[in-house]
């Protein structure tokens, strides 16, 4: 399930996984659940970088001659 | 001006231009780097310190970056190394075993139990609050969390993650699996409490 979700399978393996999902209600539910959990982690964890930090990093650049 | 001096002047000018380009590109990526950094350490302050150290080092050793390769991964590699070097990580006693044993569907079941009638999987997740993820992630032991944060928040491939953390791809996959299980367990605990 994990490599399929993370899109690291080759075409043949993807076909196999999808054929299985088509016929297995349990795995389909699990798949939908895993996808939404991942989406949740990504969006809920998104924290914007403070503008002051960005300014500090920018100030660390080499001064132009 | 003699010939070698001209060549030298051109070389210096080219290097200055490459350097400016490198620094601009690195700075453009800083939001994305911060998003990952924030969850590799415990607090926002630590993340900010780590970002400054990372960029100081990156700007200093910019020549060791190979143009055309993944700059974001290169920056994260510096950042994770600094994080380990400084020993900032709070080693946690591995008390996650019981949570881990609950298995993949534990959170789902826990969330579903709280509802009078069965919900769609997507709806179940919506019951989790924004803040619970930050706490839950902070409770995942760092070796596992690093992999989870790089793949799920940083959107790095297994191969990039393996390179950033200097571990084999197989280890990335097994730690990721374990990390997600632990995370689900932690989220379930929060829902239950």
Report ipTM (2 d.p.): 0.82
| A45 contact B CB<8A | yes
- Please report, for residues A52, B89, B139, B142, B193, the alpha-carbon distance to residue B41 in angstroms, rounded to integers and kept in the order given: 19, 7, 11, 9, 25
Question: For residue B50, how many other CB atoms are within 10 A of its CB?
Answer: 23
Please indicate, yes or no, whether residues B40 and B102 belong to a single structural domain of this protein.
no
Taking Cα atoms as reference points, which of B179, B193, B187 lies closest to residue B94?
B179
The pTM (predicted TM-score) of the whole model is: 0.80
Look at residue A5 in the predicted model and tell me its pLDDT.
84
Taking Cα atoms as reference points, which of A36, A32, A46 lies closest to residue B126?
A36
**Extents of the domains making up chain A:** 2-59
Say yes or no for a CB contact (<8 Å) between A45 and B35: yes
Residue A47, sorted as left (phi over 0), alpha (psi -120 to 50) or beta, turns out to be: beta
Question: For residue B49, how many other CB atoms are within 10 A of its CB?
Answer: 17
The mean pLDDT of B129-158, rounded to a whole number, is 88
In a domain, B114, yes or no: yes
Say yes or no for a CB contact (<8 Å) between A57 and B158: no
Q: Give B91→chain A minimum CA distance, Å.
A: 22
Q: Give A27→chain B minimum CA distance, Å.
A: 11
Is A51 a residue whose pLDDT tops 80?
Answer: yes
Is B92 a residue whose pLDDT tops 80?
Answer: no
Query: Hey, which of B20-24, B130-134, B140-144 has the most confident mean pLDDT?
Result: B20-24
Q: Give A21→chain B minimum CA distance, Å.
A: 16
What is the DSSP secondary-structure string of B125-151?
Answer: HHTS-HHHHHHHHHTS-HHHHHHHIII
Look at residue B5 in the predicted model and tell me its pLDDT.
86
Domain boundary among B57, B85, B113: B85
Pairwise pLDDT comparison (B101 vs A20), residue with the higher score: A20
Look at residue B94 in the predicted model and tell me its pLDDT.
43
Query: Would the CA dihedral through A45, B105, B138, B163 be positive or negative?
Result: negative
- Please report, for residues B119, B120, B146, the alpha-carbon distance to residue B126 in angstroms, rounded to integers and kept in the order given: 11, 10, 25
Please indicate, yes or no, whether residues B46 and B107 belong to a single structural domain of this protein.
no
Percent of chain B residues topping a pLDDT of 70? 76
In a domain, B90, yes or no: no
Q: State the count of interchain CB pairs (< 8 A) between A and B.
A: 98
Is A23 a residue whose pLDDT tops 60?
Answer: yes
Give the domain range for residue B29.
3-85
Taking Cα atoms as reference points, which of B79, B84, B76 lies closest to residue B155?
B76
Look at residue B124 in the predicted model and tell me its pLDDT.
59
Pairwise pLDDT comparison (B99 vs B154), residue with the higher score: B154
Confidence of residue A65 (pLDDT cuts 50, 70, 90): low
In a domain, B14, yes or no: yes
Alpha carbon distance A1, B12 (integer Å): 53
CA-atom Rg of chain A in angstroms: 21
Domain of B32: which CATH number?
1.10.1740.10
Say yes or no for a CB contact (<8 Å) between A47 and B44: yes
Specify the range with the lowest mean pLDDT, choosing from B2-16, B27-41, B81-95, B151-165: B81-95
Say yes or no for a CB contact (<8 Å) between A37 and B125: yes
Specify the range with the lowest mean pLDDT, choosing from A1-10, B19-28, B78-87, B125-134: B125-134
- The answer to whether the beta carbons of residues B150 and B156 sit under 8 Å apart is yes
Q: Give B131→chain A minimum CA distance, Å.
A: 7
Q: How many domains does chain B fold into?
A: 2
Is B88 a residue whose pLDDT tops 50?
Answer: no
* B85: Cα separation from own chain's centroid: 16
Give me the residue from B19, B27, B48 closest to A58, CB to CB: B27
Is B29 a residue whose pLDDT tops 80?
Answer: yes
């Amino acid at each position: 399930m994990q490599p399929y979700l993370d899109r690291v399978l080759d075409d043949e393996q993807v076909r196999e996984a999808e054929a299985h999902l088509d016929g297995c209600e349990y795995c389909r539910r699990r798949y939908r659940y895993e996808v939404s959990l991942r989406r949740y982690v990504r969006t809920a964890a998104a924290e914007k970088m403070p503008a002051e930090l960005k300014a500090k990093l920018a100030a660390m650049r080499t001064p132009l001659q | 001006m003699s010939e070698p001096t001209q060549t030298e002047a051109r070389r210096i000018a080219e290097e200055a231009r490459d350097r400016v380009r490198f620094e601009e590109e690195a700075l453009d990526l800083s939001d994305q780097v911060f998003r990952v950094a924030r969850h590799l350490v415990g607090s926002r302050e630590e993340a900010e310190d780590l970002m400054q150290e990372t960029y100081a080092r990156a700007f200093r050793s910019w020549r060791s970056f190979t143009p055309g390769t993944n700059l974001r991964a290169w920056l994260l590699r510096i950042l994770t190394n600094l994080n380990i070097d400084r020993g900032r990580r709070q080693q946690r006693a591995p008390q996650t075993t019981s949570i881990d044993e609950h298995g993949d569907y534990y959170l789902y079941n826990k969330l579903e139990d709280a509802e009078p009638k069965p919900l769609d999987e997507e709806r179940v997740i919506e019951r989790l609050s924004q803040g619970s993820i930050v706490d839950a992630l902070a409770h995942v032991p760092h070796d596992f969390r690093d992999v989870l944060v790089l793949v799920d928040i940083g959107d790095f491939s297994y191969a990039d993650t393996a390179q950033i953390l200097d571990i084999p791809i197989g280890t990335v996959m097994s730690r990721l699996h374990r990390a997600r299980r632990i995370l689900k367990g932690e989220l379930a605990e929060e829902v239950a409490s």
